[in-house]
Amino acid sequence: MNHPTMHADDAARLAAANNTGRGWRLSWDHGSAEVQALGGMLGPVSLRLDDERELDLMHVAPWAGTTGAAGLPGVLRRLRGEWPCVPFGRADTPTDLPPGWRTRASDDAWMHGYAANQRWTCIEASPLRVHLAIDYPADSAIARIERVIAADPNAPALDISLSIWVRRPARVPVGLHPTFRIPPAPGRVRVALGTHAGIHSYPTGAPGAVSRLLPDTRSATLSALAGIDGPLDLSHLPLSMPAEELMQVRAIRGSDGAGGQPPFALHYLDYDASVGMWWDTEQLPDLMLWISNGGRINYPWMSRHLAIGAEPLNSLFDLGRVAQAPDGHPLADRLGLTLHPDQPWHTRYRIAAWPNVRQGD
């Protein structure tokens, strides 16, 4: 087995650097990863496939760190990689939902939840593990959330846990928000999904964005979605045309057993490499896909944003805080997690990379 080869004095210096309060770094034989205090976001991440190749897999927004980004909401200011959304979703109320959909006001104004917009506190940091926490405002049903990001010392992989405490019983839409890097060459990243019960397009359009899917439709496969100009293939990215698409994959599953196929994977054809994500699909039964393909024209997006969000969730799209689907809609039962103050909620998930043997595209 391979184990970290860092000397004790090097580890001590890295641990001290990790406690700056701005961010923390994991470093081990199989890769490196950065975690920032703002939003508790993970990224960038580089996983080592062999002695000569590394795969940069987590997205970093092109405006992150620029002067103009200072005035953006916290979740967008240094947008990158992966973070938890508690509660999940948008806080503004849409005005153009289809007939039969009902709307309501959000409990707060924090897009993707308070924790996604604020700085987290580090409980413990080492070259292999970062433990973060954040307390919510006193009037929130959510009291506190914690997350641990740990490097697998024997593999190019990260194991992540999330824990939620509440002050009172609550039904909360909850999601994870991994966002993966998409290189610019058209069609050279293949998206692979596990078995599922259908792919549902977003019920309305996003302001300032170009969407090519028919709203509020169900499709059987990612390679033939119901598009405004006929079937649309989103199984290979990026597209050669601008598009901004949101979809919810219902009841997604990977294969069972050790070494089973993940519910979600990306195959980077020009790198002969793949990245996969495993999570508890009983707790978070669906996957929201956010395909950002230069389809948002307003600042800070500026038709330059290229990424795929693969977001395990228990929610109605990102609308669980502000809308309800009509009875009989296939996603009407996606109402969020039932949380209780006498029992914290915990989940674990894993992101890993591996080299491929090239067998064609």
pLDDT band for position 77 (cuts 50, 70, 90): very high
Token pair of 114, please? 């308070």
Contact in structure between 191 and 167 (CB atoms under 8 Å): no
Residue 238 confidence (pLDDT) above 50: yes
Rounded to whole angstroms, how far apart are CA atoms 192 and 262?
9
pLDDT average, residue stretch 305-314? 98
Contact in structure between 243 and 211 (CB atoms under 8 Å): yes
pLDDT average, residue stretch 144-153? 98
User: What pLDDT, on a 0 to 100 scale, did the predictor assign at position 93?
Assistant: 92
Residue range 313-344, pLDDT digits in tens: 999 999 999 999 999 999 999 999 999 999 99
pTM, rounded to two decimals: 0.92
CA torsion through residues 299, 300, 306, 312, sign: negative
User: Which of these, 286, 281, 278, 277, lies nearest to 335 by C-alpha position?
Assistant: 286
Q: What is the 3-state secondary structure (H, E, C) of 234-292?
A: CCEECCCCCEEEEEEECCCECCCCCCCCCCEEEEECCCCEEEEEEECCCCCCEEEEEEE
pLDDT average, residue stretch 156-164? 98
User: Which of these, 354, 287, 341, lies nearest to 136 by C-alpha position?
Assistant: 341
Residue 7 confidence (pLDDT) above 80: no
Residue 205 confidence (pLDDT) above 90: no
Rounded to whole angstroms, how far apart are CA atoms 125 and 335?
35
User: What pLDDT, on a 0 to 100 scale, did the predictor assign at position 255?
Assistant: 81
Percent of the chain with pLDDT over 70: 92
Rounded to whole angstroms, how far apart are CA atoms 149 and 134?
15
Rounded to whole angstroms, how far apart are CA atoms 361 and 358?
8
pLDDT average, residue stretch 297-309? 95
Cα dihedral 195/196/201/202 (nearest 10): -120
Rounded to whole angstroms, how far apart are CA atoms 289 and 212?
14
Rounded to whole angstroms, how far apart are CA atoms 351 and 249?
19
Mean pLDDT (the chain) is: 92
Sketch the domain layout of the chain as residue ranges. 8-355
pLDDT band for position 306 (cuts 50, 70, 90): very high
- One-letter amino acid at 87 equals P
pLDDT average, residue stretch 225-253? 97
Token pair of 360, please? 């064609």
Phi, psi angle pair for 98, to nearest 5°: -65, 165
Residue 153 confidence (pLDDT) above 80: yes
**Domain boundaries 8-355, CATH class:** mainly beta
pLDDT band for position 15 (cuts 50, 70, 90): very low
Q: What is the DSSP letter of 70?
A: G
Reduced to 3 DSSP states, what percent helix, strand and coil does the chain have, rounded to the nearest 5? 5, 40, 50
